[in-house]
Amino acid sequence: MTGALDGIKVLDLSRVLAGPWCAMVLGDLGADVIKVESPEGDDLRHFGPPFEKGESAYFMVAGRNKRCVVADMKTDEGRALVRKLALTVDVLVENFREGTLEKFGLAPSDLRKENPGLIVCSVSGYGRASSMSARAGYDFVIQAESGLMSIIGDEDQPPMKVGAAVTDIVAGQYATQGVLAALFHREKTGEGQDIDISLLDGAVTLLANQGAAYLMTGESPKRLGNDHPTVCPYRPFETSDYPIALAIGANRQFQKLAKAMDLPEIAKDERFATNPSRVENRAALYEVLEARFITRTRDEWLVALHAEGLPAGALRSVDQVMDAPELAERDMVTTVEHSTIGPTRIVGSPIKMSKTPTSVRLAPRPLGADNDDPNWL
C-alpha cells in the first residue's frame, strides 16, 4: 500500500520542532520529504544529553521519514540549490525569521511564477501577519505568554509549564492540517497559497474550556493542580498502594461510580446528584471518596471501575507507558535501523488508516546523509 500523500514532495527548511513536526507527519502520510540543514545542522541535533554515538535523542522526535541534505544558504551555491528544490516541490515548510526567505531569493510570490501550485507553510512564534512577527518564539516563552502556564500547578505555587513542548507540537499539527487543506484546494483549482501558523495562536486554543470560561464570565481561571474547574470528580486519588486517575463527567457515570465503590448513599445525596452540585460540594465528596479509595489497591479499583465502563487509569511513568502492551499492539513504539546508532526505538505515527496507512520508511538521518544520493534532487 502507498501512503495518502504518495507523489507529494515536501521541502523542509525548518528547524527545532514545530515546522519539522509538520514535515514529519506529511512524511508519515507518504510524502517524499527532503530536509535541508545548515552545515551546523538543526538545533535539535545539539539538544542533549542524551546522545547515542553523537546522535541526539531530541532529533529523533521529528526526524523520521526525511532525507537529509546540507546546503549553506549563506553562499550562492547553497541558495541556488535550495531554490532549485523549491521549484520542484509541492510544499515548502519554513520557520525562518521574517524576511529571511526574501533575503535568500525564496519569496513565495517569486517562486510561484515558476511553480504556481507551490504551498508555503510558515511557522513562527507570533505569526507573519502580526506586529510581533519579528520576535523569536520558543515553546517555554509561548507557554508563558499564552496563559497556559497560569492554569497549570497548584494555586499556592508558581505557574508551571507542561513537561513537553506542547505549543510546538500543536502548532506543527495545525500546520499539517493547513497543508492538507491547501493541497485539497490546489487539487480543485491548481493554486498554491501561503499558510501562516503561529505558536501563540495554537497555544491559545489549548486553553479550551478555560479560555471559553473567561470569555463568558470575565473571570480569569485559577490554578487547581490536578483538579478540574468544572467537572467533578476529575482528579487523582490515593489507594492503598498506587494512585489512580478518575474522570467522571456525566451524571450516569457518577451513578455507576457509586455502585462500583459500594457507596449507594452518594448516588442519592442531593449535594452530588448533578455535576454542578458536585463541583460546588467537591470538598465533601472528596472526603467520602478518599476514605473509600484508600481501602483497596489501585488494580483492585481499576477492575471494579472498568467493569462499569468508567474512565479510570493508573498514573504511569514514561518507562511504563513506552513499554505498555497497548502501545505495542498499535505500533506506537517501533524499531528502526539507524545508520549510525543501529537498531533504535522511536515513537511511531498515531494516524491509523485502512487504505493508505502511515509508515516509517526512513529512520532519522545523520547530517548530510543524502548529499551524495542522486535520487533526492
Report the CATH number at residue 296: 3.30.1540.10
Same domain, 134 and 49: yes
Query: Alpha-carbon distance 121 to 164, whole Å?
Result: 23
Same domain, 142 and 286: no
Say if CB 127 and CB 121 are below 8 A apart: no
Written as nine digits, the cell of 119 is 504551498
Nearest to 19 by CA among 179, 135, 162, 131: 179
Burial of 50 per CB tally in 10 Å (0-12, 13-18, 19+): exposed
Q: DSSP class of residue 303?
A: H
Residue 265 lies in a domain: yes
Residue 356 lies in a domain: no
Residue tagged active-site, from 12, 28, 168, 370: 168
Residue 361 lies in a domain: no
Quick one: pLDDT at residue 246?
97
Same domain, 252 and 133: no
DSSP per-residue string spanning 137-165 = --HHHHHHHTSTGGGSS-TTS-----SS-
Written as nine digits, the cell of 102 is 526574501
pTM of the prediction?
Answer: 0.92
Q: Does 319 qualify as catalytic in the annotation?
A: no
Tell me which residue range forms the domain holding 339: 9-206+327-347
The label of the residue with cell 502511515 reads 358
Same domain, 264 and 195: no
**Mean pLDDT, consecutive 10-residue segments, the chain of 377 residues?**
93 96 97 96 93 93 95 94 95 93 93 97 91 85 96 93 96 98 98 97 96 94 92 97 96 96 95 96 97 97 97 96 94 93 94 94 92 74
CATH number of the domain bearing residue 150: 3.40.50.10540
Q: How many distinct structural domains can be found in the chain?
A: 2
Nearest to 247 by CA among 268, 228, 221: 228
Number of C-alpha atoms within 13 angstroms, CB side, residue 112? Answer: 16
Residue 220 lies in a domain: no
Q: What are phi and psi of 178, to 5 degrees?
A: -60, -45
Q: DSSP class of residue 270?
A: G
Query: Alpha-carbon distance 273 to 43, whole Å?
Result: 53
Same domain, 336 and 257: no
Q: Where are the alpha helices (DSSP H) in the chain?
A: 18-28, 76-86, 100-103, 108-111, 139-145, 166-189, 199-205, 208-217, 251-260, 264-268, 275-280, 282-293, 298-307, 318-322, 325-329
User: At what angle are helices 18-28 and 166-189 packed, to 10 degrees?
Assistant: 50
Same domain, 247 and 201: no
Written as nine digits, the cell of 322 is 513506552
Same domain, 45 and 139: yes
Residue 357 lies in a domain: no
Nearest to 95 by CA among 137, 58, 131, 130: 137
Strand order in the sheet with 119-124: 67-70, 32-37, 9-12, 91-94, 119-124, 194-198
Q: How far lies 131's CA from each of 75, 98, 122, 126, in Å? A: 31, 11, 16, 8
Residue 279 lies in a domain: yes
Same domain, 101 and 187: yes
Q: What is the dihedral of CA 37, 40, 42, 48, to 10 degrees?
A: 160
Number of C-alpha atoms within 13 angstroms, CB side, residue 255? Answer: 6
Q: Which helix (H) or strand (E) holds 121?
A: strand 119-124
Q: How far apart are the first and last CA of the chain?
A: 24
Say if CB 22 and CB 123 are below 8 A apart: yes
Quick one: pLDDT at residue 374?
67
Residue 377 lies in a domain: no
